Amino acid sequence: MNMPVDQYAVFGHPINHSKSPRIHTEFAHQTGQSIEYTALDVPATDFQKELIRFAVNGGKGLSCTVPLKELAWQLSNEKSERADRAKAVNTISIGEDRKIFGDNTDGVGLLRDLTINLGISINNLNVLLLGAGGASRGIIEPLLNERPRRMVIANRTLDKAEKLAMEFSAIGSIEAMEFHALTGQSFDLILNATSASLSGDLPPLPDGTLNAGGACYDLAYGKQPTAFVRWGERSGARTSVDGIGMLVEQAAEAFYIWRGIRPQTHPIIELLNAERMSELNKGTDI
């Protein structure tokens, strides 16, 4: 008798450029798991309805991306501690009883990419986090757990940075600042968690904000290096990269939660980077 293949999906809006189906299908091949993983365009207004439909049809797990992570947190019946602290869910597991369990693998994904793939040890670094929205919220706790020497959140709207700093103050000390207040201060690691890259913009960083030989990491990614990755290169960063590695690492953690087996991430990160490079080269030939 043929057993039905376990169903997984990513929900988000927009979703047409999502790399998640590709990544999870590669993980499944690599680990010999039989799953089907699709992408569905789900705006926030349809999320609850689509989530119920997916669960009723026997779906086993979901990845949630922009703009659904906060809503996924609200709709989960049970949540992991890390999802609760982030107030955001990017990985849903659906139990036999159709209970929705929400987790958040973004923080782990970022840390694995930074520490294992890029060899950056956060302990004792001066760290600057740009942005105080949903993307920042998911990574503050894991960053603080690494015990940086100093951590600053800079945001266009100071209020939001101050609120976040307060919220996580029990885990470690964070200072909140506006961008112009960064003049004269310098950092070893700058993480861009603003949504500026999505519109090709760059947060207004004063010259000298990056220490010589420091590292820049953009949580966003695109077909081309983001404005922030380019800024890092111009500013003399030793490493200036976008969030492709984090995307693959957070997916690997989700795959582990669902299937109990940890896929290798290196081959997929290399594959995605090589594909991107070849697309870029094709573009310049035209």
In 10 A of CB 59, how many CB atoms?
A: 19
Task: CB nearer to ligand ATR: give 97 or 207.
Answer: 207
Interface residue with ligand ATR, options 100, 132, 140, 254 (CB under 6 A): 132
Residue whose CB is less far from ligand ATR, 158 or 257 = 158
Piece in contact with ligand ATR (CB under 6 A), picked from 36-44, 93-101, 126-134, 224-232: 126-134
The smaller minimum CB distance to ligand ATR, of residues 50 and 162, is found at: 162
Query: Of the ranges 93-101, 111-119, 128-136, 272-280, which one interacts with ligand ATR (CB under 6 A)?
Result: 128-136
Contact 76, 100 (CB under 8 A): yes
Q: Which of residues 193-232 bind ligand ATR (CB under 6 A)?
A: 194-196, 201, 203
Binding track, positions 142-161, relative to ligand ATR; x by CB under 6 A: -------------xxx--x-
**CA nearest neighbour of 133 among 195, 224, 207:** 195
Q: Which of the following is catalytic: 69, 99, 160, 282? A: 69
160 is catalytic: no
Residue 78: CB atoms within 10 Å: 13
Q: Are 101 and 123 in contact (CB under 8 A)?
A: no
Q: Residue 99 Cβ, how far from ligand ATR at the closest point, in Å?
A: 26
Distance CA 35, CA 27 (A): 10
Q: Kindly tell me which residue out of 13, 31, 50, 133 binds ligand ATR, with binding defined by CB under 6 A.
A: 133
Q: Which residue is nearest to ligand ATR (CB)?
A: 133
Q: Which helix (H) or strand (E) holds 24?
A: helix 20-31
Least distance (Å) from ligand ATR to the CB of residue 270? 27
How near is the Cβ of 191 to ligand ATR at its closest, in Å?
12
Spatial CA neighbour of 250 closest among 7, 20, 16, 9: 20
Burial class (CB in 10 A: 0-12, 13-18, 19+), 137: buried
In b/e form, how buried is each residue of 101-120, taking b as 16+ CB within 10 angstroms? bbbbbbbbbbbbbbeebeeb
Count of residues making up the chain:
286
Using the minimum distance from each CB to ligand ATR, give the nearer residue, 59 or 250. Answer: 250
Chain residues binding ligand ATR by CB under 6 A are 131-135, 155-157, 160, 194-196, 201, 203
Residues identified as active-site: 69
